[in-house]
Amino acid sequence: MSLIVQKFGGSSVADAPSIKRVAARIVETKKAGNDVVVTVSAMGDTTDDLLDLAHQVSGQPDSREMDMLLTTGERMSMSLLAMAIRDLGFDARSFTGSQAGMMTDAQHGRARIVDVTPTRVRAALDEGAIAIVAGFQGFNTDSRDITTLGRGGSDTTAVALAAVLGAEVCEIYTDVDGVFTADPRVVPRAQKLAAATYEEMLELAAAGAKVINIRAVEFARRHGVTLHVRSSFTQDVGTFISKEHGGEAVEEPIIAGVAGDTSEAKITVVGVPDIPGKAAEIFTIVAGAGANIDMIVQNVSVHEAGRTDISFTLPIEDGERTMQALEDAREESGFESLIYDDEIGRLSVVGAGMRTNAGVSAQLFTALSGAGINIEMISTSEIRISVIMRSDILPDAVRAVHRAFGLDGDVDATVYAGTGR
Ligand code: ADP
Ligand code: ASP
Ligand code: MG
């Protein structure tokens, strides 16, 4: 008997009829002779609504209490789903993250899994039940507190369970038919990928394609878990994510996809003394503020000879803290001023075949200039090129680049549900 882990995202369990539909689907898999472990997210936009609520009662909500609050979302959906399955005549048991043995470190809001001991999940399976595990949550044994894994963390819960339980596949059910060449909400003519490698999916996720969480992909790659991203609204086959594209005979596509991201901001440190050690000093301060920087550019200062301007991008949520840390060090470090800009957008093209294909950057820059788009920063990796531009033109730029690389399909992609929030 094989074991299948199925994860259902918020838009797949948004209301009572959806929960019943998902329950029926899970039962189908069980009836086909499989053991089934389910990971479920909070219903619809519940997590966002809870976050809004917290910010209405507190300017800076306490992180421990925030985790207590947010984990209630998944508790609602897991228990409702178990009830719906039981009504179909099958045994089902829901478990919180801690009951399922999801042990994490103590970092509230972004905890990392340190160990998974799903004793009760295994026992439920042994007794023929369907196990339902709350996504996105864990437990820290030192603080004895409940933690959350960060936004989109239910994907990681599912993959972690699939890894330790030795599942045949981890199915990620969502509101689109799979992983597309671009977000179908932005590019209607985006096409579904039959397959993607872990590497490509990691880059796409890092570039802003939120269809699957980056940490889940990392986990899957490390443990060799095959992922199948598909729609919970149809029976169609979705996108398989594994080590290879599907045998040596399949040539790697030059471009797997185009992604856009507006979750970063840019900080420019103006008038940095142009002497050795200054960049090290600045990035030590930035690292001390706990910011995860992405792109860096250094230019001759527009203001003064003998000085340089250093710009870098970082997640918007790290912006304020990093600006404060830099400002505190301004006099001692000797730079002139700081500029904060949170209206940037990052466009990325990703593809394993870029490794062996020169000319992708030329094609990208030609497409962007043809669309009248000004590039502010550029960075590249082996299989990705990213450019920074104004955020308001990002959707147009993604569509233009998608078209220029010949990725537009003949028909519009279907978005089944969700608000894209
Ligand atoms: P879930 O609630 O199931 O976790 P998410 O909203 O987190 O769903 O992720 C699914 C969404 O990801 C889709 O509705 C789509 O708008 C977005 N998305 C972004 N980039 C892509 C892509 N390349 N392929 C498919 N979906 C994408
Ligand atoms: N409910 C959580 C979120 O919205 C976790 C998840 O859906 O993966 O981020
Ligand atoms: Mg998600």
Q: How much distance in Å is there from the Cα of 196 to the middle of ligand 3?
A: 18
Pick the ligand that lies closest to the CA of residue 48. Answer: 2
Pick the ligand that lies closest to the CA of residue 45. Answer: 2
Q: How much distance in Å is there from the Cα of 370 to the middle of ligand 2?
A: 38
**pLDDT at residue 355, as a whole number:** 84
- For residue range 337-383, list pLDDT tens digits in order: 999 999 999 999 999 888 888 889 999 999 999 999 999 999 988 89
Q: How much distance in Å is there from the Cα of 356 to the middle of ligand 3?
A: 32
**pLDDT at residue 353, as a whole number:** 84
- Residues 271 and 294: their CA atoms lie apart, in Å, by 21
- Residues 274 and 265: their CA atoms lie apart, in Å, by 24
**pLDDT at residue 356, as a whole number:** 81
Residue of 178, 187, 190, 179 whose CA lies nearest to 409: 190
What domains are there in the chain, each with its CATH number?
3-249 (3.40.1160.10)
As a whole number, the mean pLDDT across the chain is 94
Q: How much distance in Å is there from the Cα of 122 to the middle of ligand 3?
A: 26
Residue nearest to atom 11 of ligand 1 (CA): 211
Which residues have C-beta atoms less than 6 Å from ligand 1?
Answer: 9-12, 41, 152, 174-176, 179-180, 182-183, 185, 209-211, 257, 415, 418, 420
If one residue of 7, 45, 47, 170 were mutated to test the ligand 2 pocket, choosing by the most ligand atoms within 8 A of its CB, it would be: 47
Q: How many CA atoms lie within 13 A of 239 on its CB side?
A: 22
- Residues 105 and 93: their CA atoms lie apart, in Å, by 26
Q: Is the predicted pLDDT of residue 244 greater than 90, yes or no?
A: no
Q: Is the predicted pLDDT of residue 421 greater than 80, yes or no?
A: no
Which residues have C-beta atoms less than 6 Å from ligand 2?
Answer: 9-10, 41-42, 47, 73, 135-136, 151-155
If one residue of 41, 159, 183, 232 were mutated to test the ligand 1 pocket, choosing by the most ligand atoms within 8 A of its CB, it would be: 183
Q: Is the predicted pLDDT of residue 295 greater than 60, yes or no?
A: yes
Q: How much distance in Å is there from the Cα of 154 to the middle of ligand 3?
A: 7
Which is the closest atom of ligand 1 to the Cα of 421? 6
User: What does the pLDDT average to over 240-262?
Assistant: 83
Question: What residues does 347 pair with on adjacent strands?
Answer: 260, 387
- For residue range 374-415, list pLDDT tens digits in order: 999 999 888 999 999 999 999 999 999 999 999 999 999 999
Q: How much distance in Å is there from the Cα of 211 to the middle of ligand 1?
A: 3
pLDDT bracket for residue 249 (50, 70, 90):
low
Strand order in the sheet with 257-261: 257-261, 344-350, 384-390, 377-381
Q: How much distance in Å is there from the Cα of 141 to the middle of ligand 3?
A: 27
Check residue 107 and report its DSSP letter. -
Residue of 124, 194, 173, 169 whose CA lies nearest to 32: 169
**pLDDT at residue 238, as a whole number:** 97
Residue nearest to atom 4 of ligand 1 (CA): 9
